[in-house]
Amino acid sequence: QNIFTVCFSVGYSVVALNHVIDFKEKKQEIIKPVSPSELFPSLPIVQGTSKRIKVLTRLTLVVSDPSHCNLLRSTSANIRLYDIIAVFPKTEKLFHIACTTLDVDLVCINVTEKLPFYFRRPPVNMAIDRGIYFELLYTPAIKDSTMRRYTISNAISLMQICKGKVSSQSENKPLELRGPYDVANLGLLFGLSEGEAKAAVSTNCRATMLHGETRKSACGVVYTVKKPRKVEEEETAVPACKKAKTQA
């Protein structure tokens, strides 16, 4: 609860509640996500605008074994209730599978240790073509100087391979959260250009949200905005028509 007040005060307009499932423990079930309206009776307003903050739900799957991916293919109703799905692969083969065939929106990269596998260009390019973004946690860089070095070096190698299609993520404690512009500045440290760094916090995140909606609807998403002058004509504001792969 505390984190959210901080989030709102710092200037974010959309927040996703993350629920992590680790398959190494036995018998994890995917539970229904807690609906945001239960947590906050009234959402505060984004700074400087008159809209309310949007809260989404997100699921992160920590996979270390190919059999864990079966869960994504199953027609469990609870998975469909999450807005964004992210996967955290632990081995190179799983990374390859996640980039190429799995139906997810984000691939998380662990930055706190020396990666056990190198990124190769073909699966990364395929992931970008499918609209999947990569994700980095920036909180370890705040805690400890060794972690800071690992975070920065992993982030730089990620940037070199994936041409900047990255979004960022924070962790649990309210003091470890940083504002959106601060995080965009960190992107400059990791080797992104200024436009890419700002996109990492804004455009790419929005693209991920739309990708999640596309996945839910199985067809495509078209956002329309009414032009103020001609009322009958509608114009697509964000043409995000992507066909999500329908799972057998």
Residues within the interface to another protein (CB under 8 A): 10-11, 45, 47-50, 141-145, 148, 173, 175-179, 181-183, 185-186, 188-189
Q: Which is nearer to another protein, 22 or 182 (CB)?
A: 182
* Least Cβ distance, residue 1 to another protein (angstroms): 15
Closest CA to 11 of 50, 40, 48: 48
Q: Which is nearer to another protein, 14 or 238 (CB)?
A: 14
Q: How far is the CB of 54 from another protein (least distance, A)?
A: 17
| Number of CB atoms found within 10 A of residue 112's CB | 16
SS (H, E, C) the chain: CHHHHHHHHHCCCEEEEEEEEECCCCCCCCCCCCCHHHHCCCCCECCCCCCECEEEEEEEEEECCHHHHHHHHCCCHHHHCCCEEEEEECCHHHHHHHHHCCCCCEEEECCCCCCCCCCCHHHHHHHHHHCCEEEEECCHHHHCHHHHHHHHHHHHHHHHHHCCCEEEECCCCHHHCCCHHHHHHHHHHCCCCHHHHHHHHCHHHHHHHHHHHHHHHCCCEEEEEECCCCCCCEEEEEEECCCCCCCC
Q: How far is the CB of 246 from another protein (least distance, A)?
A: 42
Closest CB 43 distance from another protein, rounded Å: 16
Q: Which is nearer to another protein, 20 or 189 (CB)?
A: 189
Distance CA 107, CA 60 (A): 9
Q: How far is the CB of 177 from another protein (least distance, A)?
A: 8
Compare residues 188 and 222 and give the one whose CB is closer to another protein.
Answer: 188
Min CB(52)–another protein separation in Å: 12
